[in-house]
């Protein structure tokens, strides 16, 4: 066997140019294929580590120019009355906030969510409890200044302290009492980012301001009922969408702003692999990535042909 290996190496060295081209082509093809597939898996294929992710649906809007936009809190309240979801939440989490704990400052995304966030996702905290509807402080009560931190934040910022529940951290200088830690595998709803903190939405804006309907900056995610399919839910919601729009137009808007808003379309897609900008990225880049995968496959095919030719030369010498 060693004699055959030595013979093959000597033969390859007699054809250095061809050998270099074949090996380089094969290396580039394998490397590119690995990189593209990793991106494809992260953006499109990998599902959220939650209960039955295929039953999650993300709702947002599309402008007449095809740009993604959000929903208002009033829209969320209207949609929550529909019969296609077993539970529903709205959230906002694209902004970086100044966080402080144990005398250290850092920047991280913070998700401000309504009380059914963790229940809808089916995520059970690793430690402590989740955010609950009563934490929102609706019906004239003040919201609870509480936060759930990520497993990574617990490790990095609190040294995996088993007594972290009950400790206080600050978000933009405002104190929040930590009530729970998420499981290690749950990083949030956005592709490529991990939020350190989740807090009740009413800590971001008072409920009175949320209900004015002017803020089209929220995403909505719901869990389909067992007997409802995505296409059926989409059809029902799109049929109701014009009436939802008319009932949630802000009186603060000008006639031009109202006309533009009424031209927005509802977007209803699976949230199995993420929501927010994640779902927009999936739609935007699925086709280009698949084309790129095809080109990479062609490169690999060329590499294999070169390698086969090289092996034929070795065998024929």
Same domain, 146 and 267: yes
pLDDT in tens, the chain (317 residues): 556 556 556 665 666 666 666 666 666 666 655 655 455 555 555 788 899 999 999 999 998 888 888 899 999 999 998 889 999 999 988 789 999 999 999 999 899 999 999 999 999 999 999 999 999 988 767 899 999 999 999 999 999 999 999 999 999 999 999 999 999 999 888 766 778 999 999 998 888 888 876 678 899 999 999 999 999 999 999 999 999 999 988 777 888 888 888 999 999 999 998 886 555 555 555 566 556 556 666 666 666 666 666 556 555 55
Split into its structural domains, the chain has a count of: 2
pLDDT of residue 300: 65
Q: What is the domain range of residue 300?
A: 21-46+279-316
pLDDT tens, residue by residue, 107-152: 998 999 999 999 999 999 999 999 999 999 887 678 999 999 999 9
Same domain, 139 and 31: no
Same domain, 74 and 139: yes
Same domain, 73 and 132: yes
pLDDT tens, residue by residue, 70-111: 899 999 999 998 889 999 999 988 789 999 999 999 999 899
| Distance separating the N- and C-terminal Cα atoms of the chain | 17
Q: How far is it between the farthest Cα atoms of the chain?
A: 88
Same domain, 223 and 300: no
Same domain, 246 and 299: no
Tell me the backbone φ, ψ of residue 302, rounded to 5 degrees: -60, -40
DSSP strand pairing (56-62 vs 265-270): antiparallel
Same domain, 257 and 110: yes
């Amino acid at each position: 066997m060693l004699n055959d290996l030595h013979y093959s190496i000597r033969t390859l060295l007699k054809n250095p140019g061809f050998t270099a081209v074949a090996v380089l082509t094969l290396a580039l093809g394998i490397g590119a294929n690995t990189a593209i597939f990793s991106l494809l898996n992260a953006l499109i294929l990998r599902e959220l580590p939650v209960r039955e992710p295929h039953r999650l649906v993300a709702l947002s809007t599309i402008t007449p120019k095809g740009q993604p936009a959000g929903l208002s809190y009033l829209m969320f309240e209207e949609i929550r009355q529909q019969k296609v979801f077993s539970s529903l939440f709205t959230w906002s989490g694209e902004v970086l906030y100044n966080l402080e704990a144990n005398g250290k400052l850092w920047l991280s995304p913070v998700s401000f969510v309504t009380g059914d966030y963790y229940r809808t996702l089916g995520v059970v905290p690793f430690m402590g409890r989740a955010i609950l509807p009563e934490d929102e402080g609706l019906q004239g009560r003040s919201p609870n200044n509480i936060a759930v931190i990520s497993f990574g934040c617990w490790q990095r910022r609190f040294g995996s302290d088993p007594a972290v529940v009950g400790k206080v951290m600050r978000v933009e200088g405002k104190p929040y009492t930590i009530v729970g830690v998420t499981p290690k595998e749950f990083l949030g709803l956005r592709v490529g980012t991990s939020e350190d903190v989740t807090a009740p939405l009413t800590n971001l804006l008072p409920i009175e301001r949320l209900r004015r309907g002017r803020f089209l900056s929220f995403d909505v995610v719901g869990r389909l009922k067992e007997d409802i399919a995505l296409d059926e839910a989409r059809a029902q919601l799109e049929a109701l969408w014009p009436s939802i729009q008319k009932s949630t137009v802000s009186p603060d808007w000008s006639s031009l702003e109202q006309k533009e808003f009424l031209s927005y379309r509802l977007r209803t897609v699976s949230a199995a692999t993420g929501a927010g900008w994640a779902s927009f990225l999936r739609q935007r880049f699925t086709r280009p990535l698949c084309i790129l995968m095809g080109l990479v496959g062609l490169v690999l095919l060329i590499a294999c042909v070169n390698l086969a030719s090289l092996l034929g030369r070795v065998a024929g010498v």
